[in-house]
Structure 1
Amino acid sequence: MAPLAAKLGLMHVLIAAIGSSGDVLPLIAIGGALRRRGHQVTLAAPAPFGPLAARADIGFEPLGTEQDYAAAFADPVLWSSRRGVRRLFAAVAAAIEPTFAFVMRRHRRARTVVLASSLALGARVAVGVRRCPFIVVHLQPVLMQSRHEAPRLPGLFRMGWLPAALKWRLQLGADRYVIDPALLPALNAFRAGIGQDPVRRLRHWWNARGRVLLLYPPWFAAFQPDWPDNARQVGFLCADMLGPPDDQQQALAAFLDSGPRPVAVTFGTGMLYGEAMYRAAVAACALLGLRCVVTCPHPLEIPPEHRRQVFVLRYAPFSVLLPRCRAIIHHGGIGTLAQAFAAGIPQLIVPLAFDQFDNADRVRRLGCGLILRRELFGARTAAWRLRRLLASTRIAEACAGVAARCVGADAIAEICEEVETVFAKSRAGRGRGGR
Structure 2
Amino acid sequence: MRFLISALGSYGDVFPMVGLGSALRSRGHQVTLVTNPHFQAIVESVGLEFLPVGTTEEYDELTRHPDLWHPMKGPILVVGKSFSKSLRELYDIIAANTKAGETILVAHCLDLASRIHHDKFGTPLASVHFAPIALRSFHQSPQMFGMLMQNWVPRSLRRFQFWLADKMVDYLVGSELNGLRGELGLPPVRRVMHEWYFSPKLVLGLFPKWFAPPQPDWPPQTQLTGFPLWDQSGQEELQPEVQDFLQSGSPPIVFAPGSAMTAGEKFFAAAIEACQRLDRRGILLTKYPEQLPTELPPTIKHCHFVPMSSLLPQCAALVHHGGIGTCAQGLAAGLPHIVMPMAYDQLDNAMRLKNLGVADILRPKRFTGENLGSALSRLLHDPDVQSRCSHWVQEIDVPATMSATCEALESLSAA
Using a 3 Å threshold, how does the CA distance of structure 1 residues 374 and 410 change in structure 2: closer, same or farther?
A: farther
The answer (yes or no) to whether the contact 1:281–1:379 under 8 Å persists in 2 is yes
Using a 3 Å threshold, how does the CA distance of structure 1 residues 389 and 303 change in structure 2: closer, same or farther?
A: farther
- Taking structure 1 as the reference length, what is the TM-score of the superposition? 0.90
2:41 counterpart (51, 57, 79) = 51
Q: What is the aligned partner in structure 2 of residue 200 from structure 1?
A: 190
The answer (yes or no) to whether the contact 1:263–1:325 under 8 Å persists in 2 is yes
- Taking structure 2 as the reference length, what is the TM-score of the superposition? 0.95
Q: What is the aligned partner in structure 2 of residue 27 from structure 1?
A: 17
The answer (yes or no) to whether the contact 2:233–2:309 under 8 Å persists in 1 is no
| Secondary structure at the counterpart of residue 319 of structure 2 | strand
Moved more, 270-279 or 327-336: 270-279
Does structure 1 residue 267 correspond to structure 2 residue 243?
Answer: no
The answer (yes or no) to whether the contact 1:243–1:315 under 8 Å persists in 2 is no
Q: What is the aligned partner in structure 2 of residue 97 from structure 1?
A: 88
Equivalents in 2 of 1:63, 1:272: separation in Å?
22
Q: CA deviation at 1:407?
A: 4.8
Using a 3 Å threshold, how does the CA distance of structure 1 residues 409 and 29 change in structure 2: closer, same or farther?
A: closer
Give structure 1 stretches of 5+ with no counterpart: 1-10, 427-435
Equivalents in 1 of 2:147, 2:287: separation in Å?
29
CA deviation map 1:173-192 (0-9, x unaligned):
3323x433333333223323
Runs of 4+ more than 3 Å apart: 163-166, 242-246, 300-304, 407-410
Q: What is the aligned partner in structure 2 of residue 401 from structure 1?
A: 391
Using a 3 Å threshold, how does the CA distance of structure 1 residues 64 and 139 change in structure 2: closer, same or farther?
A: same
1:170 counterpart (140, 148, 161) = 161
Does structure 1 residue 142 correspond to structure 2 residue 133?
Answer: yes
| Secondary structure at the counterpart of residue 170 of structure 2 | helix
2:288 counterpart (298, 319, 335) = 298
**How many residues end up aligned between the 2 structures?**
412
The answer (yes or no) to whether the contact 1:85–1:179 under 8 Å persists in 2 is no
| Secondary structure at the counterpart of residue 297 of structure 2 | helix
Does structure 1 residue 234 correspond to structure 2 residue 219?
Answer: no
Using a 3 Å threshold, how does the CA distance of structure 1 residues 396 and 179 change in structure 2: closer, same or farther?
A: farther
Using a 3 Å threshold, how does the CA distance of structure 1 residues 243 and 46 change in structure 2: closer, same or farther?
A: farther
Give structure 2 stretches of 5+ with no counterpart: none
CA deviation map 1:132-174 (0-9, x unaligned):
1111110010000111010011222441222334333332333
Q: CA deviation at 1:126?
A: 1.7
Q: CA deviation at 1:196?
A: 2.1
Equivalents in 1 of 2:22, 2:39: separation in Å?
13
Q: CA deviation at 1:242?
A: 6.2
Equivalents in 1 of 2:361, 2:148: separation in Å?
14
The answer (yes or no) to whether the contact 2:37–2:56 under 8 Å persists in 1 is yes
Q: What is the aligned partner in structure 2 of residue 133 from structure 1?
A: 124
Q: What is the aligned partner in structure 2 of residue 217 from structure 1?
A: 208
The answer (yes or no) to whether the contact 1:344–1:403 under 8 Å persists in 2 is yes
CA deviation map 1:215-263 (0-9, x unaligned):
11111100111111111111111111269858x6111111000000000
Q: What is the aligned partner in structure 1 of residue 239 from structure 2?
A: 249
Q: What is the aligned partner in structure 2 of residue 3 from structure 1?
A: none
Q: CA deviation at 1:96?
A: 0.9
Moved more, 339-348 or 409-418: 409-418
Equivalents in 2 of 1:42, 1:242: separation in Å?
21
Q: What is the aligned partner in structure 2 of residue 153 from structure 1?
A: 144
The answer (yes or no) to whether the contact 2:340–2:364 under 8 Å persists in 1 is yes
Q: What is the aligned partner in structure 2 of residue 6 from structure 1?
A: none
Does structure 1 residue 282 correspond to structure 2 residue 285?
Answer: no
| Secondary structure at the counterpart of residue 282 of structure 1 | helix
CA deviation map 1:297-356 (0-9, x unaligned):
20144464x431111111111111111111111000001011111111110000011000
Identity fraction in percent:
33
The answer (yes or no) to whether the contact 1:244–1:315 under 8 Å persists in 2 is no
1:338 counterpart (325, 328, 343) = 328
Using a 3 Å threshold, how does the CA distance of structure 1 residues 164 and 220 change in structure 2: closer, same or farther?
A: same
1:37 counterpart (24, 27, 32) = 27
Equivalents in 2 of 1:363, 1:84: separation in Å?
23
Equivalents in 2 of 1:338, 1:384: separation in Å?
24
Q: CA deviation at 1:413?
A: 1.4
